[in-house]
Structure 1
Amino acid sequence: MVKTRPQLVFATFITSGLALVISIVAFGTDQWLRSGVNIGTNLDNRVNYGLFVGSYSRRTLGEAEYSLSITCDFGQNKCAMLCGTSAIRSSYLQLLFAGDQTDGYIACAQRSGRAQTPDAITEVHIRADEDDTMPDGFINCGVWISTVLFLAISCVFGVVSTVLAIWNTVANPVETFLSTTGLFFYNCVACGFSLVSMLLWGIHFSMVLADSAGIHDTISEMGNSEGQGSLGYSYWLVLIGILGYIASAVILAVRQYLIDKEPDTIVNIEDNNDNTIILF
């Protein structure tokens, strides 16, 4: 097939490439959730985090800012944004399962640079009884893993779409999975996986995180964030990426429509045979 309208194929390189970059930015930034947290009469506490890390400005005993990291128990299917080393976070997560209300920040290094008391916590004991009821307000582990996985798959297909857009601009591969047909399919797949990741996190936010920020203070009920949660710009960047993939698919569909509208080329072959020549 003769290569036609390569400028439209190159346009998909721009839209798919921008969608990919925006999705990667959304993946790595820490603004998937923002929320205020009320602790007693202190109403000026703020938390924000992404899919992996975040920060918490806590002003109960002077201003302090803590680095948060996602901490999960796959057996319990629950996660929380906690501070401290991996061992400390895991211990505090188990304490949260047990309904314990130990201060979850006493052992954390503070980003504000103030010195940490080395003897503030020496050992975390899990004091769970069989009658303990696990509190609500955790981040669902399955939702978190699925959101990360689907967004990562979307980025992979975004890379494939961007590379194939350049290839189809300068060449004319005949294999379906490498041609503009495959390019259309890969953009649709990237769009679909991004959309699923948005839906998963958005539904979980509306059901849980809008009223409980998924951090130690809100899960242990030492603090309250009811009605204060909002989806941050990192989440909405995924939507912009989706629009980029949709734009690529639309451009390819328009290109194919324009090609199909072009009249068929009729080639006239002149017959130059001399009928007067007789072969004996």
Structure 2
Amino acid sequence: MSLNKRRLIFCTFIYSCAAIGLLGAALGTKRWVVASARRTSNTTESVGQVNLGLFYGDKYLNIGYGLRTYSVDVIEMMKNDPEIMIYSLWVLTVIFIMAGLTMTIAAAVFAVINSAITPISALAGVPGLYFWNISAILFELFAAGLWVTQFYQRLQFNVMSKDDRRNKWTSEGNASLGYSFWFIILASILHMINVFTVFWATCSRTKKSPSPIIEEKTNGAIMLY
């Protein structure tokens, strides 16, 4: 493999590292869903904002006497109120993100190896680069699809706890997908770029000059005459 091709393969390492950062940020940030809230009994003075991540979130509520901030434990909230999310979808979302992160780390490691040497093993070589990146794409898109399902099945209607709902708080119709969700989409796009880059690096061939078969046939025909 030429030096230029190895440089292209190394570029996939950089993109994989960026994808690792995006996936880690998606797991740790609190913006998978964002929603504004209001009290049905006091819509003019009450105002609220709820931000939920996969594990933690923040809640800002003001009933007219000043803004109060609360921390949200998403897992605890699901235990206390099973109706707020579909638990199986939440679990599968986390599992697929972790699987995508594992594939991304593998893609980064083997990109470095392939930029330095030519491995003998298929999974460690170029076929492996396709496998790790395409697997990461699939896992990340599955996770995104599961969260979209979660959103349209439950979260678009309510992100408020039981106690908040008893106090007439509602978020129905005011929720949207936050930037933490879009980190997953961006990571999958980076892996798509990796797949294209590997293809470009390994399938481009130096054109060989055609063998002079026609010229030899012509010379042979002249000798016959």
Residue 27 of structure 2 aligns with which residue?
Answer: 27
Residue 10 of structure 1 aligns with which residue?
Answer: 10
Paired residue secondary structure (2:204):
helix
Q: Provide the C-alpha distance between the structure 1 equivalents of 2:110 and 2:188, rounded to a whole number of angstroms.
A: 18
Q: Provide the C-alpha distance between the structure 2 equivalents of 1:162 and 1:219, rounded to a whole number of angstroms.
A: 46
**Letter of the structure 1 residue corresponding to residue 127 of structure 2:** T
Residue 252 of structure 1 aligns with which residue?
Answer: 198
**Letter of the structure 1 residue corresponding to residue 28 of structure 2:** G
Q: Provide the C-alpha distance between the structure 2 equivalents of 1:14 and 1:217, rounded to a whole number of angstroms.
A: 46
The alignment yields a C-alpha RMSD, in angstroms, of 2.3
Paired residue secondary structure (1:150):
helix
Q: Provide the C-alpha distance between the structure 2 equivalents of 1:161 and 1:149, rounded to a whole number of angstroms.
A: 18
**Letter of the structure 1 residue corresponding to residue 71 of structure 2:** S
Q: Provide the C-alpha distance between the structure 1 equivalents of 2:32 and 2:163, rounded to a whole number of angstroms.
A: 19
Q: Normalising by structure 2, what TM-score?
A: 0.83
Residue 68 of structure 1 aligns with which residue?
Answer: 72
Runs (5+) with no aligned partner, structure 1: 73-78, 81-89, 98-135, 267-280
Instruction: Write out aligned runs for 1:196-215 (5 A).
Output: 196-215=142-161
Alignment length (residue pairs): 206
2:160·2:169 contact (CA, 8 Å) conserved in 1?
no
Distance 1:150 1:181, change over 3 A: same
Residue 168 of structure 2 aligns with which residue?
Answer: 222
Query: Could you tell me how far 1:256 is from its partner in structure 2?
Result: 2.5
Distance 1:218 1:188, change over 3 A: farther
- Larger deviation, residues 245-254 vs 33-42: 33-42
Q: Structure 1 segments of 4 or more deviating over 4 A?
A: 217-221
- Larger deviation, residues 147-156 vs 54-63: 54-63
Residue 112 of structure 1 aligns with which residue?
Answer: none
1:212·1:219 contact (CA, 8 Å) conserved in 2?
no
Residue 54 of structure 1 aligns with which residue?
Answer: 57
| Selected match of 1:44 from 42, 47, 54 | 47
- Which structure has greater helix proportion? 2
- Larger deviation, residues 228-237 vs 38-47: 38-47
Q: Provide the C-alpha distance between the structure 1 equivalents of 2:166 and 2:202, rounded to a whole number of angstroms.
A: 57
Distance 1:44 1:179, change over 3 A: same
Higher Cα radius of gyration? 1
Query: Could you tell me how far 1:211 is from its partner in structure 2?
Result: 1.6
Query: Could you tell me how far 1:242 is from its partner in structure 2?
Result: 0.7
Distance 1:262 1:9, change over 3 A: farther
1:34·1:48 contact (CA, 8 Å) conserved in 2?
yes
Instruction: Write out aligned runs for 1:59-138 (5 A).
Output: 59-60=62-63, 62-71=66-75, 80=78, 93=80, 96=81, 136=83, 138=84
Instruction: Write out aligned runs for 1:107-186 (5 A).
Output: 136=83, 138-186=84-132
Q: Provide the C-alpha distance between the structure 1 equivalents of 2:185 and 2:146, rounded to a whole number of angstroms.
A: 13
**Letter of the structure 1 residue corresponding to residue 72 of structure 2:** L
* Residues 12-49 of structure 1 deviation map (CA, whole Å, 9 limit, x = unaligned): 11111111111111111011010011122144111101
1:53·1:70 contact (CA, 8 Å) conserved in 2?
yes
Runs (5+) with no aligned partner, structure 2: 212-225
Paired residue secondary structure (1:187):
helix
Query: Could you tell me how far 1:63 is from its partner in structure 2?
Result: 2.2
Query: Could you tell me how far 1:231 is from its partner in structure 2?
Result: 0.7
1:36·1:43 contact (CA, 8 Å) conserved in 2?
no
Query: Could you tell me how far 1:228 is from its partner in structure 2?
Result: 0.2
